[in-house]
Amino acid sequence: MLLVADVSAETVIGGAERMLHHHIRALNSAGAKVTILTRQPRPDAALKIVCEHGIIEHRLPFDGDKGWKGLLQLRRQAQTWWQTYQSFDVIIAEQPFVMWALMQAGCRVPRLQVCHSFAFEEYTTRHGLAWDFRHRLVVAGMRQLEASVYKSAQRHLVLSNFMYQRLQAFFAIPAPQITIAAGGIEGSQIGLAWQERAAKRQACWGKDGVLPPVIVSLRNLVPRTGVDLLVQAAAIVHVDRPDVRWKVMGDGALLTPLKQLRDHLGMHDIIEFCGFLPEEDVQQHLWLADLFMLPTRSLEGFGLVTLEANALGLPVIATPIGANPDVVGWSPRNRVADQATPEALAEEVLRYLNKLPSEQQRAQLASDTVRHFSWKKHDKALLTAILDLT
């Protein structure tokens, strides 16, 4: 099997890498002989690395250009690579661009196309404030590229009913070709030591004997993730609850503007931007926090971070965008705001802070999450969709 992706399996940065890692493990456990093809994450990065389980990741040379120049480079490099490596029975493609280059090189191997979200919509959200003819042309080209990739696949896999409907609406993919397989979550050892949590909270976040309520988020700092809504919601909450502290994990293009917004609202000592954190530090923050906020503004195809928070007993408040109502709304411990506005998010936060869950209730949420969102269910659907190709 050839696993094609636009992101590397070397380092987990976001949800795309997390899903790629899990699919590698699932296919390896099923006994498949797996090879990975991605694009070079940096111009100075190695063109071949060894991933977990000894699986080789090949990388197409890529100088980082995200326009037509970069696509043409990928196409040239894919043609060279495909001339050497063609002995695959099935392809599982996680994103569209490297797969498009491989198609241009003549690849016609039966394919399962995974669809997390649409790249042309992501581009639209990033450039909506500078919407001129050039940007409209780029979006039209990206949409045409994605159409060729999705329409040529024999099977499709999505994580939510939201993306199931959008595949049909945008690219007229027949419903029988689409498999819905919700993401899963692993049981976490950190979530088992509930008797230690209070002491660790005090040690990490307590000051002068006072332990404030802490709300966290883990987001790429780009327009669609809506962290600006979180900053404004925090300012509203601060009026009634000046004791609440906020921690935002993650990095991105909007880090500086978001800090400026925070400072403009007088929230410098209230909201901390933690930057990119190692996985174990992320888990520690989720475990010790009182609430997780998912302030999505647009294009939430699944929201795997919701499950990661819930699996550590941390309730989630989210906007009613994309797949959030399904993924967040599964548990009564979570809450979906009425609107994607700072006011609606702040209202839910204040309501939640009036009655925080007990340690026992948090432990139950963690247990329910691991049971409800099982990777075994996802893997079974994934492998069934692959077998339909052979």
CA distances from 353 to 111, 209, 291, 313, 329 (A): 48, 20, 9, 16, 18
Helix ranges (H only) for the chain are 15-29, 68-84, 97-104, 119-127, 133-152, 161-171, 194-205, 227-240, 255-264, 279-288, 304-310, 324-328, 342-353, 359-372, 375-387
What tokens does 278 get? Answer: 């190692």
Distance from C-alpha of 320 to C-alpha of 97, rounded to nearest angstrom: 29
Alpha-carbon span 249 to 272, nearest angstrom? 9
Note the pTM of the prediction, 2 decimals. 0.84
52-74 in b/e form (b: 16+ CB < 10 A) is eeebebebbebeeeeeeebbebb
Q: Tens-digit pLDDT profile for the chain (390 aa)?
A: 999 999 999 987 777 888 899 999 999 999 999 999 999 999 999 999 999 889 999 999 999 888 889 999 999 999 999 999 888 999 999 999 999 999 999 999 999 999 988 888 887 776 555 567 777 888 888 899 999 999 999 999 999 999 999 999 999 999 999 999 998 887 655 555 666 777 788 888 888 778 899 999 999 898 889 999 999 999 999 999 999 999 999 999 899 999 999 999 999 999 999 999 988 899 899 989 999 999 999 878 888 889 999 999 999 999 999 899 989 999 999 999 999 999 999 999 999 999 889 888 998 998 899 888 888 889 999 999 999 987
Domain borders along the chain are 2-184+374-387, 189-372
CB 15 within 8 A of CB 9: no
Using CA atoms, how far apart are residues 110 and 130, in angstroms rounded to an integer? 39
Give the single-character DSSP code of 356. P
Nearest Cα residue to 36 out of 109, 101, 98: 98
Map tokens 């954190």 to a residue.
Answer: 277
Q: Output the pLDDT for position 344.
A: 98
Q: Do domains 2-184+374-387 and 189-372 have the same CATH topology?
A: yes
CATH of 189-372, one of 3.40.50.2000, 3.40.462.20, 3.40.30.10, 3.20.20.70: 3.40.50.2000
CATH class for the region spanning 2-184+374-387: alpha beta
The terminus-to-terminus CA distance of the chain in angstroms comes to: 11
Segment 186-239, tens digit of pLDDT: 765 555 566 677 778 888 888 877 889 999 999 989 888 999 999 999 999 999
